[in-house]
């Protein structure tokens, strides 16, 4: 097991008494089985029995998917019956967030439970301004250096592997081959192989069926092993190439009083196509007899708002933005055997996924993880004791690979009804047109009254701006960057 960094810039979190009590309850049956065995053979039988009690785990990670583009979130046109059913059966946090609204750092957070400034993967690529450009030797060397960061981190696949899980990677995966992420099996060969930037062969999952996943689950069942599946299909991400049978449902539709542009219709159809693949997964879990003891976790890596006049392009204030359309996403946990259906309004973050899943698997949550173990409160249907959540955004291209501050563009905090966004003077060499609205003086929004962030109230509430700014400083202090005023 790799060592957790002791220089994360945050004080170690104390494990609460509730967490301790929960782990004792969850693990009591395991201890009882082991304590009553008298021979090595009996112990092996008991170990096998406890492994069967561990939940299987399925991560479903959609890609470039707006927070309100689901039936259960109230969309007027998009049909998502599979995810609607998941929402009705599990615990749904309608106000979930990812700290960083760019796919690579966001996925690295989901895989490690760390913020981007902690795991160090803050952007998608090295700087395109390096000598020789994207084809230059320095650029390729830095690509390898960024990937190497995962070698120093404990991933969810590795931690579950220590508990006897077998794991499979499919879909989006930026950090080299699947093996570097601690997966036993996978589809992505990774850089420097052709197409290895963010998934290569893995990107066919979903669009070309889910056979790799169902075959893997069959093998895990045959071995009596609990399984962990990373399903991060390249959906509804571009290219927006939905089947005509789905696109026909959205083509020429009226939406909010206007004809639906074809670029938007294709994106809507991609969301439904993605949902169809989830239905295939859920049907298979049911037919394989493993649905009740499978913990399904759903989250999107970042938001997206389609440009109505340009095919396969997004609008500012969505992807790469600190706005709600960039960082907000529903987060769902479905475990039919243990979790009662709940629709919850508390704010949660993708940093909470790793500690929650580890707890469900009977693994002690490392104190260095900044997220919350949500499982006790989901089981007890009790309020989550949290005052604020945080996020940060960096330039698409990394600059100083070992200094996250070098490309820091914004940080944000949500406390109660208030959301504060501060922008910074980090180096930014690409996608500048998408950051014009980001690189601005402090913005304060009342999300309960203005969830689309149309009215900046910073000048009206300077005391709130000051208080929330101090919370960002306490989250982690900056050494170099200055707030834009």
Beta-sheet strands, E only, within 115-205: 125-126, 166-171, 185-186
Per-residue pLDDT, averaged over 241-253, amounts to 96
DSSP 8-state code for residue 457: -
- Tokens encoding 81: 């019956």
**Three-class DSSP labels, the chain:** CCCCCCCCCCCCCCCCHHHHHHHHHHHHHHHHHHHCCCCHHHHHHHHHHHHHHCCEEEEEEECCCCCCCCCCCCCCCCCCHHHHHHHHHCEEEEEEECCCCCHHHHHHHHHHCCCHHHHCCCCCEECCCCCCHHHCHHHHHHHHHHHHHHHHCCCHHHHHHCCCCEEEEEECCCCCCHHHHCCCEECCCCCCCCCCCCCHHHHHCECCECHHHHHHHHHHHHCCCCEEEEEECCCCCCCCCCCHHHHHHHCCCEECCEECCHHHHHHHHHHHHHHHHHHHHHHHHHHCCCCCCEEEEEEECCCCCECCCCCCCECCCECECCCHHHHEEEEEEECCCCCCCEEEEEEEEHHHHHHHHHHHCCCCCCCCCCCCCCHHHHHHCCCCCCCCEEEEEECCEECCCCCHHHHEEEEEEEECCEEEEEEECCCCCCCHHHCCCCCCCCEEEECCCCCCCCCCCCCCCHHHHHHHHHHHHHHCCCCCCCECC
Please determine, for residue 7, whether its predicted confidence score (pLDDT) is greater than 90.
no
Point out the least confidently predicted range of 119-123, 314-318, 329-333, 339-343.
314-318
Please determine, for residue 437, whether its predicted confidence score (pLDDT) is greater than 90.
no
Please determine, for residue 6, whether its predicted confidence score (pLDDT) is greater than 50.
no
Instruction: Read off the pLDDT band of 26 (50, 70, 90).
Output: very low
**Helix, strand, coil distribution of the chain in percent, nearest 5:** 35, 20, 45
Give me the pLDDT at residue 53, please.
83
Give me the pLDDT at residue 117, please.
98
What's the pLDDT tens digit per position in 132-179?
999 999 999 999 999 999 999 999 999 999 999 999 999 999 999 999
What's the pLDDT tens digit per position in 351-406?
999 999 999 999 999 999 999 999 999 999 999 999 999 999 999 999 999 999 99
Look at the pTM and tell me if it is higher than 0.85: yes
Please determine, for residue 23, whether its predicted confidence score (pLDDT) is greater than 70.
no
For Cα atoms 215, 225, 336, give the angle at the middle one, nearest 5 degrees: 85
Give me the pLDDT at residue 46, please.
33
Give me the pLDDT at residue 14, please.
34
Per-residue pLDDT, averaged over 305-311, amounts to 94
* Percent of the chain whose predicted confidence (pLDDT) is above 70: 89
């Amino acid at each position: 097991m790799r060592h957790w960094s002791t220089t994360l810039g945050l004080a170690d979190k104390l494990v609460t008494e509730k967490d301790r009590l929960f782990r004792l309850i969850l693990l009591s049956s395991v201890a009882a089985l082991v304590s009553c065995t008298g021979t090595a053979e009996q112990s092996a039988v008991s170990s096998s029995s406890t492994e069967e009690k561990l939940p299987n785990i399925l991560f479903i990670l959609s890609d470039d998917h707006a927070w309100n583009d689901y039936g259960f979130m109230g969309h007027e046109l998009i049909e998502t019956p599979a995810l609607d059913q998941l929402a009705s059966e599990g615990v749904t946090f309608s106000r979930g967030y990812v700290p960083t609204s760019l796919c690579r750092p966001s996925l690295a957070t989901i895989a490690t439970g760390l913020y981007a400034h902690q795991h160090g993967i803050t952007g998608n690529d090295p700087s395109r301004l390096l000598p020789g450009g994207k084809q230059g030797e320095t650029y390729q060397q830095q690509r390898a250096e960024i990937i190497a960061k995962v070698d120093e981190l404990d991933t969810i696949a590795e931690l579950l592997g220590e508990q006897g899980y077998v794991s499979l990677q499919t879909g989006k995966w930026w950090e080299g081959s699947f093996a570097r992420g601690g997966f036993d099996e996978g589809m992505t060969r990774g850089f420097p192989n052709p197409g290895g930037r963010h998934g290569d062969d893995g990107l066919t999952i979903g669009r070309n069926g889910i056979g790799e996943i169902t075959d893997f689950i069959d093998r895990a069942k045959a071995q009596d092993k609990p399984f962990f599946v990373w399903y991060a299909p390249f959906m509804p991400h571009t290219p927006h190439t939905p089947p005509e049978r789905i696109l026909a449902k959205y083509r020429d539709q009226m939406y909010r009083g206007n004809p639906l542009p074809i670029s938007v219709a294709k994106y809507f159809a991609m969301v439904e196509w993605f949902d169809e693949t989830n239905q295939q997964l859920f049907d298979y879990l049911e037919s394989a007899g493993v649905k009740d003891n499978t913990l399904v976790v759903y989250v999107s890596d970042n938001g997206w708002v389609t440009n109505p006049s340009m095919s396969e392009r997004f609008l500012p204030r969505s992807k790469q933005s600190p706005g709600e359309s960039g960082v907000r996403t529903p987060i769902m946990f479905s475990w039919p055997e243990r979790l009662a259906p709940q629709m919850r309004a508390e704010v949660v973050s993708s940093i909470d996924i790793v500690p929650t899943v580890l707890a469900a698997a009977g693994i002690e949550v490392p104190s260095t993880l900044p997220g919350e173990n949500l499982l006790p409160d989901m089981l007890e249907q009790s309020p989550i004791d949290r005052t604020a959540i945080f996020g940060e955004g960096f330039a698409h291209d990394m600059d100083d690979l070992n200094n996250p501050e070098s490309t820091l563009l914004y940080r944000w905090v949500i406390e109660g009804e208030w959301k504060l966004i501060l922008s910074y003077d980090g180096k930014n060499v690409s996608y500048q047109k998408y950051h014009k609205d980001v690189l601005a003086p402090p913005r304060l929004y009342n999300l309960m009254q203005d969830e689309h962030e149309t009215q900046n109230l910073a000048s009206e509430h300077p005391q709130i701006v000051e208080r929330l700014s101090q919370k960002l400083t306490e989250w982690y202090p900056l050494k170099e960057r200055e707030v834009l005023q």
